[in-house]
Homo-oligomer: A and B are copies of this chain.
Amino acid sequence: MSFDRLIKSIVKMQNPTVAGLDPKLDYLPDFIKEEAFNKYGKNLEGASEALFEFNKGLIDALCDIVPAVKPQTAYYEMYGWYGVRTLQRTIEYAKEKGLFVITDAKRNDIGTTMQAYASAHLGETEIDGKLFESFGGDALTVNAYLGTDGVKPVVDICKKNDKGLFILVKTSNPSSGELQDRKLDDGLTVYRTMGNMCEKWGEELKGEYNYSGVGAVVGATYPEQLGELRKALPHTFFLVPGYGAQGGGARDVAPAFDENGLGAVINSSRGIMCAWKKEEGIEPRDYAQAARREALRMRDEIVSYIGKIELPAHSD
C-alpha cells in the first residue's frame, strides 16, 4: 500500500533510477526485427514479437542493477492488441526478474470506470467468482484532472494489493506550464495544488519510510519546481521523467531527493534503450550490454550528487 517495496530495492541497489521501456521499432537492432518478421510476418504481430525480444534482453541485462522498469503504454498500443499483449508479457517477465514495474499509462476516469482501469493495471478482474490478473503492474501513473473521483478507486486497489500510483503534478514538457503553472485565486499554482492533493490522498496509503503510496510525476526539466515540491510534499514520492533525451541532467534532478537520498526515482528511456546506437564500434547484438553500461553511468552520476542512499533512521 505504499512505495516501500520500491524504496527497499533502491536502497539495496543504491540506485534511484528506473529504466523506461518505450520501444519503437527504430530502436531495435536489425537482427531482432529480422528474426521476428521471418517467423511472424512483417506486420503488427511480427513487430510486437520483436519488441518483446528487445525488452527481454534489456530486462535480463538490467534486473540486478536497476530496481524498476517503466513501460509506456502508448508504444505498445501503437501495435494494436498484439502490442498490448507484448506489454502484458513484458510486465510479467520483469516481475519474474524481481523488478518493480511502473505502468506509465496516465489513465484517468471516474467511479466504476476508474475502478476498471485500476483492476486492469494493479488488481484483478473477477470472472464468475475467479480472479484473473490482467496486466499486473506494481504502480500506475494517473492524471487527476477529474479530481478525487478519479483517484479514490486506484487508492482503494493499491491499499488492498500493496501497490502505488503516481499522479501527474508538473510534467517535463515545454508547454506543461500552460495550465500547470497558472496561479489559482489563492495564489498557489495548479501544479502545487495538485501536489497538495497528492499529500492528502496519500494519507490513506502510509508507508514505513515517510512516503505514501500516492506519488507524483515531476519533470527533471524543472529543477526549481522539483526542489519546491520536495520541501512542500514530504510524504510524496516522485517519479521524475525528462532526464537525458529531454535535457535534464543529474544536477537538475538532485533537488528531488531528501537528506537520505530517497524520495524519487529518475527515469531514462531512450538514453538506455538506444545506448547501443551511440557507442562506437559496438555489435548490435550487444545492445543490452550497452544499455547496462549506460544505466550504471546514470546511476553513478546521480549518486555522485546525493551520496549514500539510506532508510530514515527512525524507521529501523
CA–CA, A53 to B132, complex, Å?
Answer: 21
Decide yes or no whether A179 CB sits under 8 A from chain B.
yes
Decide yes or no whether A190 CB sits under 8 A from chain B.
yes
Which residue of B is nearest A33, CB measured? B128
CA–CA, A184 to B182, complex, Å?
Answer: 7
- A80-B134, A143-B143 given; A37·B128 CB < 8 A: yes
Query: A179 contacts B134, CB within 8 Å?
Result: no
Identical chains bound together, number: 2
- A81-B88, A135-B80 given; A176·B149 CB < 8 A: yes
Decide yes or no whether A116 CB sits under 8 A from chain B.
yes
Which residue of B is nearest A37, CB measured? B128
Query: B146 contacts A171, CB within 8 Å?
Result: yes
Which residue of B is nearest A134, CB measured? B80
- A75-B116, A128-B37 given; A108·B106 CB < 8 A: yes
CA–CA, A268 to B168, complex, Å?
Answer: 29
Query: B184 contacts A74, CB within 8 Å?
Result: no
Decide yes or no whether A77 CB sits under 8 A from chain B.
yes
**What are 14 of the A-B contact pairs (CB < 8 Å)?**
A33-B128, A42-B130, A78-B116, A78-B117, A78-B134, A80-B88, A81-B87, A106-B108, A146-B171, A147-B176, A147-B179, A179-B190, A182-B193, A190-B190
